Amino acid sequence: MASAPTGRFAPSPTGRLHAGNIFAYLMAWLAARSRQGRVVLRIEDLDAQRSRAEHADAIMRDLEALGLCWDGEPLYQSARADAYRAALEEIERAGGAYECFCTRAEASVQSAPHLGEGGGYTGACRELGAEERARRAEGAARAGRGAAIRCRMPDTAVCFTDIFQGVQRVQVRAGFDDAVLRRSDGLFAYQLAVVVDDAEQGIDQVVRGFDLLASTGKQVRIQQLLGYEQPVYGHIPLFVNSEGRRLSKRDGDASLDSMLRAYGSPAAVIGHIASIAGIIDRDEPATPHELLSIYDESALRQRWEGCVSVECR
Ligand code: GLU
């Protein structure tokens, strides 16, 4: 890429940061700064029930304490409904969306379980005739439900070169991958918001966990519907616990507080995380700036290509 990139931190304020989040933001920061790029912050607080302002504040304090500073003002998704509405209308005008009246249980179909993909959509509301649509709409209204809006995905393979995973071919399936753009309760959904905000914030480099690789195909399709440029993606291994379960903010796994107690200083926490991930060989304190001076993306690609998870010790 010719110009300096803009990367991002996109935390959901549902708890304190854990080691896996810190690893993701460290990598986003290193990948952007190693190209003299900017890093912007977005608070993904679309879901008011799960998000808390105090978690957002704590995440920002923690990032600063860790030396993971961002540029400019944070963008709060909770303040962006007008932008999401406008984007949704554009997709609807292009025939790229349809109403879905299914309950959550009716909507979901399981796929072969693989990481980050619990299942997909049955496609039940995708090709409704006018009569059947009216019947379903009435049924949903009687049950006190509105309609969700889904994106009409084509059967296609989205190909891109991932910074850490190399050449990727993500299959998008019509029906099964028809992502919710607006939920039946009226909340705009992650897949729409992330695409609109990545474009709004000028993000052309997205570094995040391996679990979101499957979402990338859907996001690229939504970008195409909205005429946006496709960012460069880099998917990094997930931190898992000793049972192989992904760390979670809500479960308080490997929280920054507990790591600070165990390792003593922010630099010791960063050094520990960098050593788990194989960025440095020895578990010793390191600041993000120190890691920047030894950052070697092609070595990391070799190490992480095809690597889904690493155990957080
Ligand atoms: N908000 C998401 C998270 O905290 C990240 C989404 C993304 O990077 O696209 O896991």
Mean predicted confidence (pLDDT) in 231-255 = 87
Top-confidence residue, 145 or 116: 145
42 lines ligand 1 (CB under 6 A): no
Q: Is residue 149 helix, strand or coil?
A: strand
Does 138 have pLDDT greater than 90? yes
Structure tokens at 28: 């986003």
CA atoms within 13 A on the CB side of 36: 4
CA 218, CA 2: separation in Å to the nearest integer?
26
> What number does the ligand 1 atom closest to the CA of 209 have?
8
Nearest to 68 by CA among 293, 289, 235, 283: 289
Give first-to-last CA distance, the chain, whole Å: 36
Judge if pTM exceeds 0.85.
Answer: yes
pLDDT at 105: 87
pLDDT tens by residue, 41-56: 999 999 999 999 999 9
Does 7 have pLDDT greater than 90? yes
Structure tokens at 199: 């474009």
pLDDT at 70: 98
Q: 263 C-alpha vs ligand 1 centroid, how far in Å?
A: 26
Cα dihedral value 52, 41, 25, 162, nearest 10: 120
The one-character DSSP state at 96 is -
- Nearest CA residue ID for atom 5, ligand 1: 10
* Three-state secondary structure string covering 186-214: CCECHHHHHHHHHHHCCCCEEEEEHHHHH
- 8 A C-beta contact, residue 149 and residue 180: yes
pLDDT at 170: 96
pLDDT tier for residue 117 given thresholds of 50, 70 and 90? low
pLDDT at 152: 98
pLDDT at 115: 44
pLDDT tier for residue 111 given thresholds of 50, 70 and 90? low
pLDDT at 208: 97
Count other Cβ atoms within 10 Å, centred on residue 228.
17
pLDDT at 116: 46
